[in-house]
Amino acid sequence: MTTNDENAGLNGDRPIDVAVVEQAERLLGLTFTEDERTLMLPQVEAQRRMYTQLRTVFLPNAVPPATHLGPGHLAVGDHGAAASCVGAPEGAATAGSTAADHAARRQDEDLPFLDVATLGKLLRAGEVSSLDLTQMYLERLRQYDPDLHCVVTLTEELALAQAGRADAELRAGYDRGPLHGIPWGAKDLLAVRGYPTTWGAAPYRGQTFDSDATVVQRLEQAGAVLLAKLSLGELAWGDEWFGGKTRSPWDLEQGSSGSSAGSAAATSAGLVGFSIGSETWGSIVSPSTRCGVTGLRPTAGRVSRHGAMTLSWSMDKLGPICRSVEDCALVLAAIHGADERDPTSLTRPFPWPCEVDLARLRIGFVESYFAADYEQVANDRETLRVLQELGAELAPIHLPDYPIEALGCILDVEAAASFDELTRSGRDDELVRQGQESWPNTFRAARLVPAVEYLQAQRVRTLLIAAMSELMQGIDLYLAPSVHGNNLLLTNLTGHPAVVLPNGFTPAGMPTTITLTGRLFDEARLLACARQVQEATGHHLRRPPLAAQAAAGAATAAGALAAAP
């Protein structure tokens, strides 16, 4: 990477104080309170440091800004060939993530935790109905939501109608595919006609839309049954929303992380068959890690975002959160493809079922990360060992050397623009989180980012995309820690697909995950590789001790009540 330090900073040593922010407001035509100015100061100082970091990157005049990812990013992006996958043999099972005979596990307590492919077999064999599954999951949602705080709105009337239709169609021999009759949950940033879409934020609690999001429409066409709108951290940050903090089923003292908090918690706890989440900077990967489930962040542009809340036009993505890699593939097959209402979306082949020979793949791993000391490094190294045992060739790699964290200002600026009216109206005061690390403060501080600096960051992003394209030419996919290091932000900026899967537990019993990142639009090969790892380890089959925790909490509460005077 070539650098140029000549313009590293302009008066960058002068302190920024409240008076400076107040003067900047005059240029913006806005007025903040004294407390708001004081809260902004650390972020404004951090932004200035980011500008200095970005100015160390030499930008030739011809480098354009990467203002959106979609069909255009193929010009400098990598994309995998569909021919890399070999279809499964005729009649082969698609439930690869649960190799054990499902009939032996069909006890009442097992049914909520079965994967989509196995539930589909039971539905087609007539051993269970969609209405049975829907009523079971609705009961569990009511039973465990007081502990998890993962439900914003139950869509019970819609669910019962969709389940009844699915049963009638299956009895008549009309099969819509693997998701037909399977109950699911939607992150509450997806519009569903006739129900509130709150975005997890108090200012939007009564908000409704007169049409469904494209993902919701496509899942209905696939025969899936929508049970609930699930929680997200307000405006897609964190796990705290106007209804409380969404909890991890593995430890009710911990939040489920965010922002797809409810989607991950409900899937992990066996309250839905699968769910849909979204990711801008870790919102599928992080809660999937905290809740011990499998998540897929598809290539940017693979899935239409029409009808979903916009946080960042150039970084938002929608994807499935499931109990297995196989389930993620089945859901992606139903929701991907171009949509004229989302001009960044497009159709690329997704050949599934897919089988790959690991011995013929070149799989990278970020060497510096695996050599570091972080909480779950032993589990991550064990995943490398499993891949080697399965015959894969592992190659140490190094990620492109750019100031990745500084590029986070792209998200801040786009989010501030998305919620411009919220800031100007003062209704950002209605949000639950009002601290230093919260949207209201970030929105205000982002207004002070000069347009030139935002576009310079997007131009550095263009170079990053090109560098990742070159890296991916030499490997088929690579492994990295899910949340340690800057791979998470880097790949969200470049639009690469990633699958996150459970790979063990901490000494305290919390799940850990690892992330596999693939070439653009090469989800089939990526998922086929991840599925083999998952089948070889079985970590995804372990269930959270939610019932025991809930019972213990109820007993404690009852004891406290009895002891009260």
Q: Please tell me the distance from the alpha carbon of residue 54 to that of residue 402, in angstroms, as a whole number.
A: 8
Q: Please tell me the distance from the alpha carbon of residue 433 to that of residue 506, in angstroms, as a whole number.
A: 29
Is 283 catalytic? The answer is yes
- Cα angle for residues 379, 380, 384 (degrees, 5° grid): 115
Choice among 97, 260, 283, 418 that is catalytic: 283
3-state secondary structure labels for all residues of 330-366:
HHHHHHECCECCECCCCCCCCCCCCECCHHHCEEEEE
At position 183, the amino acid (one-letter code) is P
Is 312 catalytic? The answer is no
SS3 403: coil
Choice among 121, 187, 245, 317 that is catalytic: 187
Closest CA to 517 of 305, 409, 369, 389: 369
Q: Please tell me the distance from the alpha carbon of residue 182 to that of residue 23, in angstroms, as a whole number.
A: 57
- In order of 106, 115, 129, 517, the CA distances from 124 in angstroms are 15, 15, 9, 34
Angle between helical axes of 130-148 and 261-268 (0-180°, round to 10): 120
Residue ranges with strand state E in 234-316: 240-241, 244-245, 247-248, 251-255, 274-279, 294-297
Identify the H or E element spanning 318. strand 317-322
Q: Please tell me the distance from the alpha carbon of residue 438 to that of residue 431, in angstroms, as a whole number.
A: 9
> How many angstroms from the chain centroid is the CA of residue 434?
24
Identify the H or E element spanning 386. helix 377-389
Tokens of 466: 């090109």
Q: What is the largest CA-CA distance in the chain?
A: 76
Write the burial class of residue 71 (CB in 10 Å: 0-12 exposed, 13-18 middle, 19+ buried): middle
Phi, psi of 222, rounded to the nearest 5 degrees: -80, -5
Q: Please tell me the distance from the alpha carbon of residue 77 to that of residue 469, in angstroms, as a whole number.
A: 5
Report whether the peptide linkage leading into residue 353 is cis, meaning its omega lies within 30 degrees of zero: yes
- Cα angle for residues 14, 18, 20 (degrees, 5° grid): 50
Identify the H or E element spanning 313. none
Q: Tell how strand 294-297 and strand 317-322 pair up.
A: antiparallel
Closest CA to 353 of 130, 25, 85, 156: 85
Choice among 130, 259, 268, 482 that is catalytic: 259
Is 268 catalytic? The answer is no
At position 473, the amino acid (one-letter code) is Q
Active site residues: 187, 259, 283
